[in-house]
Homo-oligomer: A and B are copies of this chain.
Amino acid sequence: MPGQRSIAEAERLAAARLGGIPVRHDQMAVVANIYRAASAVRQHLENSVLRGVDLTWTAFVVLWVIWIWGESETRHVAEEAGISKGTLTGVARTLESRGLVQRADHPTDGRLVLLSLTDEGEQLMQRLFPAFNEEESFVTGQLSDADCQTVAEGLRRVVLQVEENGEKRRQDLLGGAAPAPRRSGRRKA
């Protein structure tokens, strides 16, 4: 994990490298630190409470979503966990094979699949969540409760900005042109 010194240094070097072009430093610092913090927190959680039960961060988040919301349609779980439908299919398969999650057909809509925790999955989350929250407290240990609220609120605004205005923004950037297709990915048969 890179030290903080390097962020300031990188910003200085970047400014030098850009010459006359203006750089929004404060905004750059927010994005850089969001990314660093996310990596650091994920790494810590995976190597502390999750490692022992052989769960990845994503697998835990999926379990968490199903635990909190109860039996749910997969599209809802994917949305809430912040992963694509395709990714969820794979993660759910893994969790199902581990006996933590079970799938069921929707009673009236044949397109839907419902996910729920098994008893074992339920017990695991009961046991795991307090330990997880304990580490959430550890990583935020240098922040007061008020600091936490301030930071969380700032991050909420970032999320909200992207959620509410991101799509329009991306369209405007393209100026009516069709979005570039991914070079990787499935091709027509």
The chain B residue with its CB closest to the CB of A171 is B48
Chain B hits for A24, CB < 8 A? 133, 136-137
Q: How many identical subunits does the complex contain? A: 2
Task: Evaluate contact between B159 and A4: CB separation under 8 angstroms.
Answer: yes
Chain B hits for A139, CB < 8 A? 27, 31, 158, 161-162, 166
Chain B hits for A180, CB < 8 A? 51-52, 54
Contacting residue for A80 out of B2, B51, B68, B179, CB 8 A: B2
Q: State the majority secondary structure of interface residues on A.
A: helix
Interface size on A, residues (CB 8 A): 85
Inter-chain CA distance A141–B32, complex, in Å, is: 15
Task: Evaluate contact between A162 and B43: CB separation under 8 angstroms.
Answer: yes
Task: Evaluate contact between A162 and B13: CB separation under 8 angstroms.
Answer: no
5 tightest Cβ-Cβ pairs between the two chains A and B: A38-B38, A151-B154, A26-B148, A33-B155, A142-B157
